């Protein structure tokens, strides 16, 4: 926390967003940024497909795939720069995707509960669910794939 506060005080965006770090808090902030970009891609695809031709749960899955690819690409550039020691690049993406699919399952379940059972509009549901799943995805990926 002290390291992050120092970077904020210095307004050192390079250290916060670009330079290599093993600091979990800085990685989480980067992951939130990356997740935000991936969420926008996911959300826009979901809305476009729901409003034009697909049921919202199918559109959520398609949006998820677009968001997953965006998330992995940006995470490798900003958050988890070092390759996983546990597997090669293909294996790394496979495990990354499996964790993401588990997040998708959680997303689908929570979307169903919020939207169909609690009558929350699907767009609002997606915002709430995305925050919950973001935390799951970060810590699962950090602890399973990128733990030293």
- Which SS3 state, helix, strand or coil, does residue 145 take? coil
The reported pLDDT for the residue numbered 18 is: 75
Instruction: Say how many residues make up the chain.
Output: 148
How many Å apart are CA 68 and CA 101, to the nearest integer? 9
What domain range includes position 51? 2-144
Question: Among the listed ranges 4-18, 55-69, 85-99, which one has the minimum average pLDDT value?
Answer: 4-18
Sign, CA dihedral 57-34-71-28, equals negative
Query: Residue 50 half-sphere exposure, CB side, CA atoms within 13 Å?
Result: 17
Q: Count of domains in the chain?
A: 1
Measuring CA to CA, which residue among 128, 127, 145, 126 is closest to residue 137?
145
Contact assessment for residue 52 and residue 45, using Cβ atoms and an 8 Å cutoff? no
Predicted TM-score (pTM) of the model is 0.73
Q: Quote the mean pLDDT of the chain.
A: 87
pLDDT in tens, 48-79: 999 998 888 899 889 988 998 999 999 988 89
Does the structure show a pLDDT above 80 at 15?
Answer: no
How many Å apart are CA 123 and CA 125, to the nearest integer? 5
Does the structure show a pLDDT above 80 at 123?
Answer: yes
Segment 107-126 shows an average pLDDT of 93
Does the structure show a pLDDT above 90 at 119?
Answer: yes
Read off the tokens for 100.
Answer: 């993401």
């Amino acid at each position: 926390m002290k390291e992050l506060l120092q970077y904020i005080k210095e307004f050192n965006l390079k250290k916060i967003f670009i330079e290599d770090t093993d600091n979990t808090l800085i990685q989480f902030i980067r992951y939130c940024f990356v997740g935000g970009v991936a969420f926008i891609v996911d959300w826009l695809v979901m809305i476009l497909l729901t409003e034009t031709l697909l049921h919202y749960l199918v559109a959520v899955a398609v949006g998820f795939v677009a968001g997953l690819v965006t998330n992995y690409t940006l995470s490798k550039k900003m958050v988890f720069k070092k390759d996983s020691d546990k597997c090669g690049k293909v294996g790394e993406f496979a495990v990354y995707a499996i964790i993401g699919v588990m997040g998708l399952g959680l997303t689908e379940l929570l979307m169903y509960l919020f939207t169909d059972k609690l009558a929350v509009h699907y767009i609002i549901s997606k915002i709430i669910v995305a925050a919950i799943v973001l935390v799951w995805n970060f810590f699962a990926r950090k602890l399973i794939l990128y733990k030293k």
